[in-house]
Structure 1
Amino acid sequence: MFTGIIEELGEVTAIERSADSALITVRGPLVAGDARDGDSIAVNGVCLTVVSTDPATGTFVADVMRETLERSTVDSVRVGDPVNLERAATLATRLGGHLVQGHVDGVGTILSRHPGDRWEDVRVALPPDLNRYVVEKGSIAVDGVSLTVTAVDEASFSVSLIPTTMRVTTLGHRPVGDLVNLEVDVIGKHLEKLVGAPERAS
């Protein structure tokens, strides 16, 4: 479980691809500093499992399975790309964002960017099957960043990026047309299933 508050801007240093999986090496001295084999680290909002670390270089290696490659932007990541990094939350973690699982629900496309005085409004295309989970003033994770939805329609939603978000995450420089990982609020999905479930016989 994560909070969507990015701890570090890392860099992809190596990718080893096979037929239906990959090994990705990421430099992130902060998150790799206390990482152990089996730990979870969110990379651009994708929960990945650490398989090895190298304290000398501040890197960690993670497995990426076919399901992840097919459902997220990890398959398009290249060596040298910056990535948002967050370690898994603990019971003592401040929940500054919202509950984020690191399980990508879909991929969106940045449609527009409109700078304001000290902030920027960004509009993102929304896959049709995710629209019902996105509400104005609700939360959504974009490339692992916890953001508040400022507007939503049938095909897109908007968020506002504060200076800190633009400075310490990849969203500060993502151009129009770039693909981003989307994770909707899991509470909405659970409520939908509960409300739609048939009543149990007493």
Structure 2
Amino acid sequence: MFTGIVEELGEVVTIENLGDSSRFRLRGPLVTEDAKHGDSIAVNGVCLTVVDTADGEFTADVMAETLKRSSLGALAAGSRVNLERPMALGGRLGGHLVQGHVDGTGTIAERTPGEHWEIVKISLPATLARYVVEKGSITVDGVSLTVVDAADDYFTISLIPTTLDLTTLGIKKVGDPVNLEVDVLAKYVERLLGRGTAQTAADLKDLEEIKEMDR
């Protein structure tokens, strides 16, 4: 589990194509300080498992499904990436609960600079838009952010100087893809409400059958 508070702006060193997967080597001196084989590190919001570490770098295998569903497939040697280690039990939850399970990708549609911040508009599929609400939380490339405005096919976020300076969101251009993870609580609520509706319909059907038997 992560918090969406990026610890380090890392870099892709190499990408090895293994056919049905790829092996990434990434530079991240801070996140590898205490990392070992089997640990998790979020890369642009995608939870990856550490294969090995050496000299401030680590390797991780990325399956074809992850490359297809996320924007990791668009990375190349030299690409900058957001890195975060898992939240320690008892640690501060500075952002919101982030699983590192990317739901899909969006696209940077507009960037509107302000005097001290920047408004960024991101387009997204309708299948994800229904989980995005004004003042709700969303994870963009591993960064926990608050939604400023939400519509059927886009949402906007406001980026402060710290986020612009210390994450990839400061260098993303219009047209660039970004990883999106919606608030998992919204998906749980939808599932529970759906089950509740189905159960209510089933109960009503049973009640009608009982009434018919009594006639």
Same fold per TM (> 0.5)?
A: yes
TM superposition shift of 1:85: 0.1
| 2:135 counterpart of 1:137 | yes
Partner of 1:41 in structure 2? 41
TM-score normalized by structure 1?
Answer: 0.96
Partner of 1:11 in structure 2? 11
C-alpha separation in 2, matches of 1:143 and 1:199: 37
Larger radius of gyration: 2
C-alpha separation in 2, matches of 1:131 and 1:73: 18
TM-score normalized by structure 2?
Answer: 0.91
Partner of 1:148 in structure 2? 146
Partner of 1:113 in structure 2? 111
The structure with the greater share of residues assigned to helix is 2
Partner-residue secondary structure (3-state), 2:5? coil
| 2:105 counterpart letter in structure 1 | V
Partner of 1:58 in structure 2? 56
C-alpha separation in 1, matches of 2:125 and 2:62: 23
Q: Tell me how many residue pairs correspond in the alignment.
A: 200
Partner-residue secondary structure (3-state), 1:33? coil
Unaligned runs of 5+ in 1: none
| 2:174 counterpart letter in structure 1 | V
User: 1:25-56: CA deviations, max 9, x gaps?
Assistant: 110000011101111100000000001010xx
TM superposition shift of 1:173: 1.2
C-alpha separation in 1, matches of 2:167 and 2:77: 17
Unaligned runs of 5+ in 2: 204-215
Partner of 1:23 in structure 2? 23
| 1:73 counterpart letter in structure 2 | S
Q: Percent identity?
A: 62
**Runs of 4 or more off by more than 3 Å in structure 1?**
198-202
